[in-house]
Amino acid sequence: MNKHFFGDTAVLLGRSLRHITRSLDTIMTTVIMPIAFLLLFTYVFGGAINTGMHSYVKYLLPGILLMTVASGIAYTAFRLFQDKNNGIFERFQSMPIARSSVLWAHVLTSLVANLISLAVVVGVAVAMGFRTGASVFAWLAVLGILVLFTLALTWIAIIPGLTASSPDGASAFSYPLIFLPFLSSAFVPTHTMPGPVRAFADNQPVTSIVDAIRDLFAQQPVGDSIWIALAWCVGILVVAYVFAMMAYRRRIS
């Protein structure tokens, strides 16, 4: 690792964060759809859905949080695509900086922006009646899961950001990720689903992550779900990081 890696990453992170502060509408655009789904499912469909919980917003929130992250990472791919096409990469290559710091600055910017978006969504949920007696440790565990999930999806976003041929292509990959929670336990218990759909829902990452977060908020034993959730997040993160770095090396070689 370049000895200037942390300093270079901090400088480039500051550059990316300045772009965010100049266009806060980006964050607001990111949270519009998750908040719309939160309102729609709670006030329109919530009364007809039996989840076994007194408050549907409490059942729904974990899935909406994951949807918020999936919506936010599209902007990471878009910003990276812009840097690539504007010649910023070539300019940075001519400077004595750690090459990987360029990607890490985008990744950390995504993390900061998504944490702000998540805080906004939680605030709306609280205004809608979400309450939890979860301990500080449980909240930290939820935060840790969401950070890992954000990093995993952000490194996935790096790949189309580097390889796409158009801005729409760079961000279109996020659409399946946004709607993946619909085929999970995010909105309804999986036991209500038909056999093949239930089999997929029970064995995809969103279900275990949602279940772990929901149990932490409800002060229930998390069981194996938290370890399965962490395994999914770490596994996706490692694989996405490897492929993203391969794409980056091809791009700058």
Tens of pLDDT along 192-224? 899 999 999 999 999 999 999 999 998 888 888
Counting Cα atoms < 13 Å in the Cβ hemisphere of 199 gives: 2
What pLDDT is recorded for position 97?
64
251 Cβ partners below 8 Å, 6+ apart?
84, 89, 162
Q: Please give the residue range of the domain that contains residue 198.
A: 5-252
Into how many domains does the chain fold?
1
- How far apart, in whole angstroms, are the C-alpha atoms of residue 71 and residue 153? 10
What pLDDT is recorded for position 4?
66
Whole-model pTM?
0.88
What pLDDT is recorded for position 1?
47
**Which of 47-51, 81-85, 114-118 is predicted most confidently?**
114-118
The three-point CA angle 104-106-108 to 5° equals 65
